[in-house]
Amino acid sequence: MASTEREAPAPREGLVHPTRAGYGDTDQSGIVHHAVYLRWLEDARATWLREHGIDFRAMERDERAGFAVWKADLRYHRPAFLDDALAIELWVGDLGRAKIRFDYRVWRDETLLLEAQVHLACIDLDRLRARGLPASVRAAIP
């Protein structure tokens, strides 16, 4: 997680998710608050999962399975400011039996603002314990 040159998402199929820094995302000086990035990453991840045919409601209802973030690593390179148009690159960095790691880069034009990795565990919603990824989820991830 150190390159500041723009590279294509890899090794799995990625997504570029646009967002814009709004007034409620910033402090009084117009700089985006550090915690806002986690919400933006989650929005991008939900879009990626939906575009890959993963239906959260069906997974929760039919398989009693869900995802829980168990680790998030964020490295801030530069600040984002009020009204900045941003691009969030997202791809699956690692896929395990019960875990998925999503990798991210947040850009303003050609300036790298943030690199992140968010680790999700698939959980049994009744026991609140880790479980294997449902076959439908595994099949949907390229």
Would you call 49 helix, strand, or coil by DSSP?
helix
Of 25, 27, 62, 109, the active-site residue reads 27
Tokens at residue 91, please?
């791809």
**What's the rounded Cα separation, in Å, for the pair 71 and 56?**
20
**What's the rounded Cα separation, in Å, for the pair 79 and 101?**
24
Q: Active-site residue 109, yes or no? A: no
**What's the rounded Cα separation, in Å, for the pair 12 and 10?**
5
Strand 85-95 to 111-124 pairing: unpaired
Active site residues: 27
